[in-house]
Amino acid sequence: MTLSLRCLARRARSSASGVGVSTFSDYLGSKSNRAAGDRFIFPPNVMVEIKALACELPSRRGLPLARWSLSELRREAMAHGLVAQISGTTLWRWLSQDALRPWRHRCWIFPRDPAFAIKASRILDLYQRRWQDKALGPRDYVLCADEKTSIQARRRKHPSLPPAPGRPMYVEHEYARTGAWAYIAAWDVHRAKLFGRCERKTGIAPFERLVAQVMRQEPYRSARRVFWIVDNGSSHRGQRAAVRLQAKWPNIILVHTPVHASWLNQIEVYFSIVQRKLLTPNDFSTLAALKSDLIRFQQRYEKTAKPFEWTFTRRDLCSLLAKLNAKSRRLAA
């Protein structure tokens, strides 16, 4: 009598000791059901259950683990009776099919601003050159601004060595701190223009020096409206900052991102480029050298810069918020 694979899998899992699973493997072997390289062919439901296991938090299974490693996932799959034996290579192959990497993690912040949708929509509209359901005019400009704080100048205790055949660039691990700058910058969203300065520290006065640096230039000085997109940092927080800036520059409109949503601010994209291309690895002999390179990099980047291809729209925002709301309801149930 021939048993179905489902029946055999169910019978195999019924044995906590793993004997049943071994019997099932023997069955597969006796039928010469082998994959290339003399691998056992596992039934599809085993693959599904192990992938489901990889998508669980280990702590919810009572395990003293922060996240799965490949070896821990293999160990739990065998201890739970899903399989008697399985190689790490097979597990890797299965997880790769769905781009599952449970040993990795990334921090994120759940949207908590009660006006998140309204604030985010305003910014996304500005990126599409719209404000309050009307198209922007030719004398309207949109800038994103923020501070990249505490950029240290680290003088390495041995000179860095350039790459050579068979080895990467060498950077000495030990260094001496020679000071730090706050890099305050603004990005014209539609013209791909950059403005930046180095300050000893952040604050209202340093930020307003950047604003003045921009607003004293054309076309912003005589513009109809200049929208400044900023986060909720203390240098430009709330309505008081909006009123203060507008008293000096009547054509400024300050637009705040939702709380903990700096990813909506395009200047953060530029800051990530600076971090990747200039500041990693950090190797500057003096504080003056760091300042010089920050400004020179800004000028070099602007020569070939184009507006960022911002593809996240109001429609994407609505879809994201709907998913988050549905998830919140499930967790609360």
Structural domains of the chain sorted by starting position, each given as residue range(s) with its CATH number in brackets:
5-97 (no CATH), 116-322 (3.30.420.10)
| Range name among 73-77, 104-108, 264-268, 282-286 with the lowest pLDDT average | 104-108
pLDDT in tens, 104-157: 998 877 788 889 999 999 999 999 999 999 999 999 999 999 999 999 999 999
Alpha carbon separation from 49 to 8, 26, 31 (Å, rounded): 15, 21, 24
pLDDT in tens, 291-323: 999 999 999 999 999 999 999 999 999 998 898
Stated pTM of the model:
0.78
Q: Is 8 exposed, middle or buried (0-12, 13-18, 19+ CB in 10 A)?
A: middle
pLDDT in tens, 200-240: 999 999 999 999 999 999 999 999 999 999 999 999 999 99
Predicted local distance difference test score (pLDDT) of residue 39: 58
- State which amino acid sits at residue 277: K
Q: Would you list the DSSP string of 182-212?
A: EEEEEEETTTTEEEEEEESS-SHHHHHHHHH
Asked if the model's pLDDT at residue 14 lies above 80, the reply is no
Residue that is written with structure tokens 């149930």 in the block: 333
CA 270 to chain centre: 14
What is the token pair recorded at 67?
Answer: 């996240």
pLDDT in tens, 16-66: 333 334 333 433 433 344 444 445 689 999 999 999 999 999 999 999 999
pLDDT band at residue 324, thresholds of 50, 70 and 90? confident
Residue that is written with structure tokens 């998830």 in the block: 327
What is the token pair recorded at 70?
Answer: 């490949």
